[in-house]
Amino acid sequence: MPEPFIRLQNVEKTYLTKDSAILAVDDVSFDINESEFIAIVGPSGCGKTTILKMIAGLVPYTSGEITIGDVRVDKPQTDLGIIFQDAVLLDWRDVLSNVLLQIDIRKLNKSKYKARAMELLNNVGLDGFEGKKPYELSGGMRQRVSICRALVHNPPLLLMDEPFGSLDALTREQISMDIQHLWMEERKTVLLITHSIPEAVLLSDRVIVMTPRPGQLAEIIEIDLPRPRQLNRLPEKFNEYAGHIRQIFQDSGVLELD
Ligand SMILES: Nc1ncnc2c1ncn2[C@@H]1O[C@H](COP(=O)(O)OP(=O)(O)O)[C@@H](O)[C@H]1O
Ligand SMILES: [Mg+2]
């Protein structure tokens, strides 16, 4: 068994606003193993983004404990990559120098990381686009660039918050395949937040299903399907997993996922 890499123990988050206290995450505990691909699905406002930001050290938790590799998270973590819903690229930099942004900021050896940047771009089907400016790319291509940028400094952990949210269905499918390919090459530990049940089942080793706010764990489902998983050749078991997750939401009265 691999060692747990990330551990959330009885984590709670209450946001204090001017006139109220909002319990956003209520007593959540789970582990993520090294090199594991985990997805979190849950209704809008159940605390998914809050969990991701607490793991990244961007939002403090109210009680409980989060550790990454045995170290307690109490400040912004630098040894990880994060991807948010909209790719924020710098328009005056070309694709390659957008991917190398972290390298510049961290003052690392650029020539050493250039080959890695090119390899990542290649892995997501963007070879030949390294000299283009972001405004010359489609939304899906821009999001692929931001995935490469998050991985270029080789962090052991990748956090993705609804990275395909603003993309059309076909592009989502293509990028899902790219992410699967990248994961099989690099075996990073990945936490993916998504509102798509099929996407979660397609990509993950385990899917964490959350209840409506205040977010608690409804169930953690192990996805026992061989990889690479192919959209046009999904086994019957795939539909069973997806149906099971859908049923959990129906039972708790959740009609729409965010
Ligand atoms: N900075 C904040 N201040 C106050 N309330 C917040 C803040 N961020 C999130 N919330 C509230 O916490 C709950 C969970 O939010 P969030 O983690 O963004 O959910 P999700 O990503 O699952 O949609 C929501 O009710 C939201 O309104
Ligand atoms: Mg969110």
Query: Whose C-alpha lies nearest to ligand 1, atom 24?
Result: 45
**What one-character DSSP code corresponds to residue 190?**
E
Which CATH code is given to the segment(s) 1-73+187-258? 3.40.50.300
Q: Which residues of the chain have pLDDT under 70?
A: 1-3, 256-258
CA of 17, closest atom in ligand 1: 4
**pLDDT recorded at residue 214:** 87
**pLDDT recorded at residue 258:** 56
CA of 46, closest atom in ligand 1: 22
**pLDDT recorded at residue 87:** 79
Distance 94 CA to ligand 2 centre (A): 29
| Cα atoms in the Cβ-side hemisphere of radius 13 Å centred on 247 | 8
Q: Which residue has the tokens 């609804």?
A: 162
Q: Locate 75 and state its tokens.
A: 């400040």
Distance 82 CA to ligand 1 centre (A): 18
- Spell out the alpha helix ranges (H) of the chain: 48-55, 95-99, 101-105, 110-123, 139-151, 169-186, 197-203, 236-251
CA of 25, closest atom in ligand 1: 14
Ordered by start, the domain boundaries in the chain are 1-73+187-258
46 lines ligand 1 (CB under 6 A): yes
What is the overall mean pLDDT for the chain? 93
**Separation of first and last alpha carbons in the chain:** 33
